[in-house]
Structure 1
Amino acid sequence: MSSRTETLEQGLARVREDLLADDRLVRAVASGKRRTAAPGWRRVELRWVDLKAGRHLQVVRYDATQAHTSNHLLGEAAGAAVDGLLAEPFGNWTVETTDRQLSLRVTKKGDAQVHTAQRQADDAAAPTRDHDRAKDRMLPEDDPLFAALGLADARGRIKPSRMAKYRQVEDFLRILDRSIADARTRGHLRPPTPEDPLRIVDLGCGNGYLTFAAHRFLSERRGLPVRLTGVDVKEQSRDHNAAVAAGLGIDASFVAGTIGDAELPEPPDVVLALHACDTATDDALARALGWDASLVLAAPCCHHDIAAQLRKADSPSPYTSLVRDGILRERFADTLTDALRAQLLRSCGYRVDVMEFVDSKHTPRNTLLRAVRTGGAQPLDEYDDLVATWGIRPRLGELLDLPAAGA
């Protein structure tokens, strides 16, 4: 693996070379935005396909609701399509070829941080150029997992009433897949082995939809050794999930208890906390920090604690209008709470991305905090200023024994 920082022009030239290598390109993805601009598409995927008219570069562009596919003939047409995409202000490019994986991230200064990892002989990948292939799913609808969880019927079709949950699982797996691949490429996540599998804990796992999906995808589709533990306060959830795991032959354990008191035999590498309510997300983040987890994915749900504090505190001038009305106060509390959580994670040596989890039409609770432990801690100045300005005491700050505002 090699890492380097170079000019954006140089980095994108590397990406372009791999994208137009029709004999080597397996798959490429562009996503995210830059500090100063956002692209016209949420995400773009590229691969080469063989049509009756010859080899074409297939480009799938995703907006907020659907995918738009176009095919560009090898040569000038494909080159023009690639140049148009490289001109878009995407923040990240991931390009997988038969011999390596290249990841490019645009820094705040506008440079290209490029990471390349050569493929080993036993990790070779071959391009799939069939045009009419089945829709690319992280886990197919007919996976026995979904029938066991009640999302699919006996014929392996997702029930219409559960389609939103299935899409949530798919979106989560895409984020998990990219996050683990990126962390491994950059050396922030250790390589798992059969003797020492990747240790994942899902705090507040509920009925285990995402818990089981994560295990199934990483072990079956990515071939990673995984040891998974689910934690939930309800004994009913523990018993239900244990029965599902036994029925599917999944090696997972489940613990009934609070997030703060859960005992694990070994510290986890990856911590998941998806839609843990209110300060339960803070409890999960505090546990992740205490474990020095390499990767944390947290999707908060409701933010009553800070909203209640804002209702009682004197609002600073000239921001009274932000919290005068209840609905605005609640929305502002959501943003403020997650901004403070992100700042605290950064102060503890994590690189943090605050991103969309699933499309807002599926759930309004669609913010995800993705934190990767890099060791580069940031100062708490901004956090201290926000806490003092608004006169609040965030739960995560308490759990980390930070002094109250004005103390």
Structure 2
Amino acid sequence: MTDTKPHNRDKNYLVKSDSPFLKALGVSNDAGEIKPNKYAKYRQICRFVEIFIERIERTQAVKQKRVKVLDIGSGKGYLTFAMYDQLAKAGLNPKIDGVDTRTEMVDLCNEAAQTSGFENLAFHNMKAEDFVQGYYDAIIALHACDTATDDALFYGIRSKSKLIVCAPCCQHEVLVDLQKSETANRKFISHGLFLQKQADLITDNSRVMLLRSQGYQVDVIDFVSTEHTQKNTLITAIKKNKPSPKYLEQYEAYKKAYGFGGIKLEALMREAGLIRPE
């Protein structure tokens, strides 16, 4: 039987269900209860924010007068609002920008930001690569589709952001190469579903290597149960060290072993001169 009752099981969640911005965004009802069809997303956001807060506290950003965050592919703004709310409550004086290409979403979120009194929260209708607003302490992206995750990672790498937190989604780029690959690793996989899963893993593992090559300490975790979403992988990266070419060497060997030409993040890094020409 489908549960049609609103959910109010937020006692242990960082983001409270009766937060005014959740009502403004249509996530909760007038009683401050999470709507049944929004509960899975609510759970994802709570966990994402919880992990972000824990990671940002490991950086020097918490000693600043203001913490600047950029949300790439902000969509309906659920995560962006929750992040602003929690950083403000933590006394970190946030300035957060959301970037999305859908005009109706951007307009909705800007109106909700005004309604919620979030003065330093703004949304912009444009592509990530066209958004030039300088340095951000942290870059976030929740289920930025396909190569949009690479755009988010690159923005953080290029500006040497202290923290990058991304939940990838729909990794299709490598799949095309794997379908044509004749390597030993490929010939034993005949089922399309397995090939897609392998493409997902290869894509995210490539991103990890490229992040590490730029001095980031990277963790990869399942941040929520598959009950809430199948796309539950979260990549967190904290800027710790100087660039390390050994990870680029690993990445090149990895491409040869699995027979794929590369990912968008690599192309962006090469274009920016972060990877030397071969």
Aligned match of 1:271: 139
Aligned match of 1:191: 63
What is the distance in 1 between the residues matched to 2:263 and 2:242? 23
The aligned amino acid for 1:320 is: K
Does the C-alpha gap of structure 1 residues 318 and 236 become closer, same or farther in structure 2, counting only changes over 3 Å? Answer: closer
Does the C-alpha gap of structure 1 residues 343 and 318 become closer, same or farther in structure 2, counting only changes over 3 Å? Answer: closer
Deviation at 1:259, TM superposition (A): 1.1
Aligned match of 1:66: none
Does the C-alpha gap of structure 1 residues 239 and 311 become closer, same or farther in structure 2, counting only changes over 3 Å? Answer: same
Counting matched residue pairs gives 261
- 1:311 aligned to 2:187? no
Aligned match of 1:205: 74
- 1:385 aligned to 2:253? yes
The aligned amino acid for 1:138 is: L
Show structure 1 runs of 5+ residues with no match.
1-133
What is the distance in 2 between the residues matched to 1:334 and 1:198? 32
Aligned match of 1:349: 215
Over 2 Å off, 4+ runs: 134-137
Map of 1:170-189 to 2, 5 A cutoff? 170-183=46-59, 187=60, 189=61
Deviation at 1:135, TM superposition (A): 2.5
The aligned amino acid for 1:165 is: K
Q: Which has the higher strand share?
A: 1
Q: Per-residue displacement from partner, 1:291-331 (whole Å, max 9, x unpaired)?
A: 111000011001111011111222x1254113x22100000
What is the distance in 2 between the residues matched to 1:309 and 1:238? 35
Deviation at 1:190, TM superposition (A): 5.4
Q: Per-residue displacement from partner, 1:3-33 (whole Å, max 9, x unpaired)?
A: xxxxxxxxxxxxxxxxxxxxxxxxxxxxxxx
What is the distance in 2 between the residues matched to 1:403 and 1:139? 44
Q: Per-residue displacement from partner, 1:140-163 (whole Å, max 9, x unpaired)?
A: 111111111111111111112221
The aligned amino acid for 2:39 is: M
Does the C-alpha gap of structure 1 residues 190 and 142 become closer, same or farther in structure 2, counting only changes over 3 Å? Answer: closer
What is the distance in 2 between the residues matched to 1:223 and 1:190? 9
Aligned match of 2:268: 399
Deviation at 1:381, TM superposition (A): 2.1
Aligned match of 1:370: 236
What is the distance in 2 between the residues matched to 1:172 and 1:388? 34
Q: Per-residue displacement from partner, 1:351-386 (whole Å, max 9, x unpaired)?
A: 000111211111000101100001243312211101
What is the distance in 1 between the residues matched to 2:49 and 2:207? 23
Larger Rg: 1
Secondary structure of the corresponding residue to residue 63 of structure 2 = coil
Which of 67, 74, 95 is equivalent to 1:227? Answer: 95
Give the TM-score taking structure 2 as reference length: 0.89
Q: Identity across aligned pairs (percent)?
A: 34
Show structure 2 runs of 5+ residues with no match.
1-9
1:192–1:225 contact (8 Å) kept in structure 2: no
- 1:326 aligned to 2:192? yes
1:273–1:281 contact (8 Å) kept in structure 2: yes
Aligned match of 1:302: 170
